[in-house]
Amino acid sequence: MKITAYEVRKDEEEKMRQVAEACGVKELVITEKPLTIETLDLAEGAVGVTTLGQSKINEEICSRLHEMGITGYSTRTIGYNHVDLNAAQKYGIQVSNASYSPHGVAEYTVMMLLMSLRKYKPALYRINVNDYSLDGLIGGELHEMTVGIIGTGKIGDTVIKNLSGFGCKIYAYDVYEKDTVKQYASYQDLDTIYRECDAISLHIPLLDSTYHMIDETAINKMKKNVILVNCARGELMDIEAVIHGVEEEKIGAVALDVFENENGIYHHDRRTDIIKNREMAYLRQFPNVIMTQHMAFYTQQAVDSMVKCGIESIAAFAKNEDYPCRLTGERR
């Protein structure tokens, strides 16, 4: 059995080889390159391929995989907006995604909120140049705030549980309400969250209905000095509207671990390159804006789980076995 793994980071390699050996994989091809038409030759003779989110699994790729006799694909990510599931289904390719503990992202979300609330970015910049003044660094206290959590899946649910220990009031929004959330938060409609919350954090998937949901209209409904946190998907926010909100001092702080059109930038060393993302370059200069490189997920536990799902699912598909993270296809 041969599996080709694309976009493999150095921190994945050892675990990937261990899992492949345990699954009976005889040949494991590892490359840092994304899966493209030009790199498909690396998968010749493989039963399946696995990638991260930089590879675009479109109809052309699915067609070529089918021609090569490859019937399994796994993305070592929870999100799968880069995968055309209809095309995969059309060409008989079984697809899976990854799963991992929600705690890493949930803890990171709370950290980003606290950093914003306590003005950590300008404080850190000052101390690095021996400026120990306090002017402009006065913060707030989380226990006196109302925090809105949009999306109460595994991560949103865990964020709510984490926040409950701070004593703040928590509002939640989701199409599907959960009894476990109601122990700690009150479900509200979006307008109520926008109108009454001092901080809002996004934990919903990217869908047609959620694309740019944080736009000018939504921001205008929010409280002055609202804190916005996004550790979900960059495309949930209309960045031009967010920039305007910061400039007009409607938004008090922004903490982003994701950014629209981040592919090709985040997770790469681009220090000597010209970055073609003006909104990213402009927004990060504000003292009340924190931006990190899509790393909320990045814990050893999560990476191990992502690798495990990526290899195990392809091996299971090849053996005509089911796998919990299957997105398309049926056992043959």
Average pLDDT over residues 207-225: 98
Please say whether the beta carbons of 305 and 98 come within 8 A: yes
Burial zone of 68 (CB within 10 Å; 0-12 exposed, 13-18 middle, 19+ buried): middle
Instruction: Report pLDDT for 186.
Output: 98
Burial zone of 154 (CB within 10 Å; 0-12 exposed, 13-18 middle, 19+ buried): middle
Strand partners, 214: 237
**Which residue carries 């999560």 as its tokens?**
302
Q: How far, rounded to the nearest angstrom, does the alpha carbon of residue 63 sit from its chain's CA centroid?
A: 28
Q: Could you say which of 3.40.1350.10, 3.40.50.300, 2.60.40.420, 3.40.50.720 is the CATH number of the domain covering 2-100+300-328?
A: 3.40.50.720
Q: Could you state, in order of their start, the residue ranges of all structural domains in the chain?
A: 2-100+300-328, 103-291
The per-residue pLDDT for range 67-104, each reduced to its tens digit, is 999 999 999 999 899 999 999 999 999 999 999 999 99
Single-letter amino acid code for the residue at 97: N
Q: Which CATH class is domain 103-291?
A: alpha beta
Residues 120 and 112: their CA atoms lie apart, in Å, by 10
Catalytic residue among 7, 12, 260, 262: 262
Catalytic residue among 12, 76, 294, 312: 294
First to last CA, the chain: 17
Please say whether the beta carbons of 105 and 154 come within 8 A: no
**Which residue carries 């400039």 as its tokens?**
247
Catalytic residue among 12, 76, 233, 260: 233
Please say whether the beta carbons of 157 and 203 come within 8 A: no
199: left (phi over 0), alpha (psi -120 to 50) or beta: beta
Instruction: Report pLDDT for 330.
Output: 55
How many CB atoms lie under 10 A from the CB of residue 167? 11
103-291 has the same fold as 2-100+300-328 = yes
294 is catalytic: yes
User: Whole-structure pTM over 0.85, yes or no?
Assistant: yes
The per-residue pLDDT for range 232-276, each reduced to its tens digit, is 999 999 999 999 999 999 999 999 999 999 989 999 999 999 999
Residues 211 and 213: their CA atoms lie apart, in Å, by 5
279 is catalytic: no
Residue 332's pLDDT band (boundaries 50, 70, 90)? very low
Average pLDDT over residues 178-197: 98
Instruction: Report pLDDT for 329.
Output: 60
Tokens of 329: 């296809």
118 is catalytic: no
Give the least confident one: 81-85, 169-173, 191-195: 81-85
Instruction: Report pLDDT for 331.
Output: 45
Q: What is the CA radius of gyration of the chain?
A: 22
